[in-house]
Structures are given as C-alpha cells and as structure tokens.
Amino acid sequence: MSTAIERRPARERILDTARELFYAHGIHAVGVDRLIAESGVAKATLYKQFPSKDDVVAAYLRQMDDSWRRQLRSAALAAGDDPREQLFGLFVAMEQAARAGSLGCAFINAAAEYQPGSTAHAITAEHKAAVRAWVRDLAAAAGATDPDTLAYQLTLLIDGTLAATRVEHADVAAEAAKRAARLLLDCACP
C-alpha cells in the first residue's frame, strides 16, 4: 500500500473501496473481509467506523447521492442558462458517460438487491424522489405545461437509460434517450 493511501483517514479509505467494489460487483457480492483487505484497514477499525455492513452501505449510498446530484447539476449548468436546454443537457452528459463506460445507476442496482423497508431501499427511494423534484423544478422553469408529468417521464428515461447501459450497447441506449428527451421537451414545453 502506498504512503499516500495509508495517510488517508480509515473512514475515507473504507468508503472509497466500498464505492469501487459495490458499484462494480454489487453490494451483496462484496463481503466485509474483502472491504477490509482492499481498504487496508483492520477489522476493528472498520467496525469502529461502521458498526455493520449495512452502515457502510448507507454511507456509500449517501455518498453516491451527493456525487450523482452534483453531476446532474453540473451537466445542467454546462448546457447554459435556459432550463429547457439544461434538461436536455442531462441526456448529453449521460451519452458521454455511457461512451466512457458507465456501470449504470448505483441506486437501481441497490434497489435490486434490497427489499422495501430496508435502509438501503429507503435511501434509494429518497434519492429518486429528490432527483425527480429537482427535475420537476427545472421543468417548471422551462415552461412545461405539466412539470410533474414531464419530470416523471424524464427521470424514467434517465433510469431506463442507466439500467440499459449496465446491460449492453450503452452508447446506443444513451443516444436513443437523448432523442426521446428532445421529443418530450418539444411536446411538453411549448
């Protein structure tokens, strides 16, 4: 292990390792022993930072929520000042991510692994609701005749695209989503 890695706080190393492993392999496929080994911490250190694997999962999902929402805002702002173009910019960014080898949505992946009522599922639902509310606000600012419906349609399109990129032909799925988003925006925002 390099000295730079060793100097990072244990909690940060555990979460960075969890993010890489959970996102690439799935949460249930990664055991605590692997987290310990790959983050370079002692078992006691992991459990001091996180009393259970579920606590690591919750922290990972909250970290992914922060990261994903920052990426969405950045993509919207990169598209300019017009809210309609900001909404379209989300799909331009998704297309770029798909071409770069995105592994889909950490939240869709988590939802597939956890039952409703679990902490992980609740964090996932909160994330999806917060993203939809943000998209709804952009849709209203863009002049959508029904911002709630447009937000629901666009977030379904985002989620569907992210799910498809995990399976096959990520670039094709992202391009199709971008075209569909343009049509939705043209119809919903006169």
Domain borders along the chain are: 1-51, 60-188
Does the structure show a pLDDT above 70 at 19?
yes
How far apart, in whole angstroms, are the C-alpha atoms of residue 87 and residue 77? 10
pLDDT of residue 190: 85
How far apart, in whole angstroms, are the C-alpha atoms of residue 112 and residue 49? 26
Task: Find the length of the chain.
Answer: 190
pTM, rounded to two decimals: 0.90
Q: What are the helix and strand counts (H, E) for the chain?
A: 10, 0
Number of Cα atoms under 13 Å in the Cβ half of residue 56: 32
Does the structure show a pLDDT above 60 at 4?
no
Query: Same topology for domains 1-51 and 60-188, yes or no?
Result: no
Residue 2 banded pLDDT, cuts 50, 70, 90:
very low
**SS3 of 73, please?**
helix
pLDDT digits (tens, 9 = 90+) for 98-141: 777 777 889 999 999 999 999 999 999 999 999 999 999 999 99
How far apart, in whole angstroms, are the C-alpha atoms of residue 16 and residue 62? 13
Cα torsion 132, 127, 111, 175: sign: positive
How far apart, in whole angstroms, are the C-alpha atoms of residue 92 and residue 75? 8
Structure tokens at 28: 């249930």
Class of domain 1-51 (CATH, top level) = mainly alpha
Let me know: does 170 contact 98? Beta carbons within 8 Å.
Answer: yes
165 vs 1: which has the higher pLDDT? 165
Does the structure show a pLDDT above 70 at 61?
yes
Structure tokens at 119: 């902490």
60-188 adopts what CATH topology?
A: Tetracycline Repressor; domain 2 (1.10.357)
